[in-house]
Amino acid sequence: MKIAVIPGDGIGPDIIRQARKVLNRVSKVYKTAFEFQELPMGGAAIDKFGVPLPEETLKVCKNSDAVLLGAVGGEKWDNLPGHLRPEAGLLGIRKGLGVFANLRPAILFPQLKSASALKEEVLGDGLDIMVVRELTGGIYFGQRGRRTGSFGQEAWDTEAYSASEVERVARVAFEIARKRKKKLMSIDKANVLESSRLWREVVCKVAEEYPDVALEHMYVDNAAMQLIRNPRQFDVIVTTNMFGDILSDEASMLTGSLGMLPSASLGEGKLGLYEPIHGSAPDLAGLNKANPIATILSAAMMLRYSFDREDAAAAVETAVGNVLEQGFRTPDIMQPGMMLVGTEEMGDKITAEIN
């Protein structure tokens, strides 16, 4: 299996190193050969090649079986024009690989209940929400620009969706819902936005093919509130690029930390892009403080979705649970009575649990 690895900026290289340790261990225990190729993207690529996504990086990724990505961005590149910022590299690779469905599972490890932003009684016996975020359309990719209006400078962005873009991500979400509790919540702003009204129409049409799945709709503002009030009403969520960006960060705090949430971005084929949902946290870079679990769980998703190795994926997830059970915590999920460890130690402990 050829894995393209993009460490990126900030804590990216720190957390990617841990995921690679885990994968090396998986390769020994499960007798699968992984071939890693490290590639530049984001700020690291801007510094070296003047662009956030070198052509060669995208080409190698397209010819790989999976792409594992750390995070990109940092203050140093914040004042560059939009198309030359590190984030443009991230959007470019998502679009370039055609990975339109971004799966962001928000799962609360029982050991982290007290680290959740919510009260224990709201969490009940756990949380397991799958957010399916549309990833290659909407306002992230619509026309944008600046112009002079009657009151001076103006800036504009466009939220645009085609029916086929909505249809294919809806289908992914229905398929996932079918394998879970057969409940799907589509989140939009159809009371205001025309693009949301099309979104809702198309989702309803796809629903006809899935009579066994109960579809409901919710406005995004209400969804933001309901996620805090009663998160256990959600099972699978499907939503637009921007709403999914926002709601998945919110969902991460229900699970204890942004440092816990992995993601898998999938398209038509097996090639997937795997990355934690968090950013590059430049203030933590190189300090051995970042939580590598989101990236390690992203590698587990890679084993599951791109390599069809449910056994190995589950082993990695169990290893994470075991290490939390033993009481080891990175600073972001530290709780009284637990043992504080750094990025490297967390990676080592999880690796050691895979056997």
Residues forming the site for ligand IPM (CB under 6 A)? 73, 87, 90, 245, 277, 279
In whole angstroms, what is the distance from residue 317 CA to residue 319 CA?
A: 5
Q: How far is the CB of 74 from ligand IPM (least distance, A)?
A: 11
Backbone angles phi, psi at 226, to 5 degrees: -65, -30
Of 2, 128, 182, 249, which one is the catalytic site residue?
249
Write the binding mask 192 to 231 for Mg ion: x where contact by CB under 5 A, - elsewhere: ----------------------------------------
Write the binding mask 258 to 297 for Mg ion: x where contact by CB under 5 A, - elsewhere: ----------------------------------------
In whole angstroms, what is the distance from residue 213 CA to residue 216 CA?
A: 10
Closest to ligand IPM by CB, 249 vs 344, is 249
Render 117-154 in DSSP notation, one character per residue: SS-HHHHTT--EEEEEEE-SSGGGTS-EEEEEETTEEE
The C-alpha angle with vertex 121 and arms to 120 and 127, in degrees rounded to 5, equals 70
Closest to ligand IPM by CB, 138 vs 256, is 138
Shortest Cβ contact with ligand IPM: which residue? 87
Closest to ligand IPM by CB, 87 vs 134, is 87
Alpha carbon of residue 341 to chain centroid: 24
The C-alpha angle with vertex 273 and arms to 93 and 183, in degrees rounded to 5, equals 120
Closest to Mg ion by CB, 245 vs 332, is 245
Shortest Cβ contact with Mg ion: which residue? 245
Closest to ligand IPM by CB, 188 vs 245, is 245
Q: How far is the CB of 277 from Mg ion (least distance, A)?
A: 6
Work out whether 134 is an interface residue with Mg ion (CB under 5 A).
no
Characterize 189-198 residue by residue with b for buried, 16 or more Cβ atoms within 10 angstroms of its Cβ, and e for exposed. Answer: bbeeeebbeb
Of 161, 189, 235, 332, which one is the catalytic site residue?
189
Taking alpha carbons only, the member of 317, 312, 275, 310 closest to residue 295 is 275
Active site residue 245: yes
- Residue 238, SS3 per DSSP: strand
Active site residue 249: yes
Which option in ligand IPM, Mg ion, none does residue 22 bind, with CB closer than 5 to 8 A by kind? none
Helix (H) or strand (E) holding 108: none
Which option in ligand IPM, Mg ion, none does residue 303 bind, with CB closer than 5 to 8 A by kind? none
Within 208-296, strands assigned E span 214-219, 236-239, 264-266, 272-274
188 bridge partner residues: 219
Q: How far is the CB of 246 from Mg ion (least distance, A)?
A: 8
- How many residues are recorded in the chain? 355
Closest to ligand IPM by CB, 14 vs 87, is 87
Active site residue 221: yes
Closest to ligand IPM by CB, 90 vs 112, is 90
Of 140, 210, 274, 305, which one is the catalytic site residue?
140
Taking alpha carbons only, the member of 229, 264, 288, 305 closest to residue 17 is 288
236 bridge partner residues: 130, 184
Which option in Mg ion, ligand IPM, none does residue 159 bind, with CB closer than 5 to 8 A by kind? none
Render 16-41 in DSSP notation, one character per residue: HHHHHHHHHHHHHHTT---EEEE---
Write the binding mask 239 to 258 for Mg ion: x where contact by CB under 5 A, - elsewhere: ------x-------------
Q: How far is the CB of 90 from Mg ion (least distance, A)?
A: 10
Of 47, 221, 283, 308, which one is the catalytic site residue?
221
Active site residue 219: no
Q: Which residues bind Mg ion (CB under 5 A)?
A: 245
Catalytic positions: 140, 189, 221, 245, 249
